[in-house]
Amino acid sequence: MIADRERTAERLLKSSADRSYDPDVDIDWDADLAPDKYFLPAHRCSLYGTPLWDGLSVEQRIELTKHELASIASVGIWFEVILMELLVRHAYNADPLTRHTQYALTEVADECRHSVMFARLIEKVGCPAYGPGHTALRLGRIFKDIAFGPSMFAGILVAEEITDALQRESMNDPSVQPLVRMVNRIHVIEEARHVRYAREEVLRGTPGLSRAALAYHRFMLARTAYIVTRSLIHPRVYRSVGLDPYEARRVAWANPHYQETLRWAGSKLVSFLDENTLIDGPSRKLWQAVHLV
């Protein structure tokens, strides 16, 4: 049974009023970073368990997790900016008096604060905003102009749920920097509402699709999942510890630990989308190529 659209939005608005954060005041940006703490749980680093990892000192391992965190955060900003545009478009010709539209606008406000928070995090740790790379930037521009319906909301879920799994683990890990744990905690709390909103739209939008429409949404969604997953770690991060970016990237994608991390981070999302027939047919190969299926 799918919950009533207005009732869900009403609940999400109430939760937003009760529990929202302002990263400007809720985070102590002046606190020093801990010299001996990781920026991601070490076992989630893309090279963890490989000979390249074994060749790094503890300081270099910490440094690499810092750059991987910055890469993921900058890809988060990229996707949130896309998402804000999609939500604004979703609200454009919708009735502003519905709770559903009001919640879409509230979510834009959440994402707006998140993107500034991630930007300040990257700045604080002293890394570049790597971003998703040229190809993904170009494809993202097309995606944000043409996305609609189930593959739009499911595409949003891909970015939100994969990062959510990583952040939930990281926020509870005492080996991770306190600042990073706090950023993750804020993001996890607010994203839970977004996931609820998008999942229900997927549930409402998918069952009535024609066969051709379903094939289209499956393909668009698989492309999104492929591009987002491939973009998370920019190859240039490996230069921070003196590794060749393209060699290290090849090792990372062949790394069974990293493949398992991706599978684990996407598992709840993938079972939800699979149950709703959105992962099937020829596009399944794209999901497999990035180890989500």
Q: Which of 114, 218, 249, 291 binds Fe ion (CB under 5 A)?
A: 114
124 near Fe ion, rule: CB under 5 A: no
234 near Fe ion, rule: CB under 5 A: no
Closest CA to 162 of 23, 290, 20: 290
Distance from C-alpha of 88 to C-alpha of 137, rounded to nearest angstrom? 20
Part of the chain binding Fe ion (CB under 5 A), chosen from 24-32, 190-198, 228-236, 242-250: 190-198
Part of the chain binding Fe ion (CB under 5 A), chosen from 49-57, 110-118, 126-134, 282-290: 110-118
Q: Which of 194, 217, 234, 249 binds Fe ion (CB under 5 A)?
A: 194
Strand positions, DSSP E, 97-239: none
Q: What's the closest the beta carbon of residue 121 comes to Fe ion, in angstroms?
A: 12
DSSP states along 63-118: HHHHHHHHHHHHHHHHHHHHHHHHHHHHHHTS-TTSHHHHHHHHHHHHHHHHHHHH
Q: Residue 160 or residue 169: which is nearer to Fe ion going by CB?
A: 160
The answer to whether 86 and 144 are in contact (CB under 8 A) is yes
Q: What's the closest the beta carbon of residue 293 comes to Fe ion, in angstroms?
A: 23
* SS3 assignment, position 176: strand
Part of the chain binding Fe ion (CB under 5 A), chosen from 50-58, 194-202, 205-213, 242-250: 194-202
Distance from C-alpha of 66 to C-alpha of 79, rounded to nearest angstrom? 20
The answer to whether 122 and 225 are in contact (CB under 8 A) is no
Residues 126-185 that bind Fe ion (CB under 5 A): 160
Part of the chain binding Fe ion (CB under 5 A), chosen from 89-97, 104-112, 144-152, 176-184: 104-112
Point out which residues bind Fe ion (CB under 5 A). 111, 114, 160, 191, 194
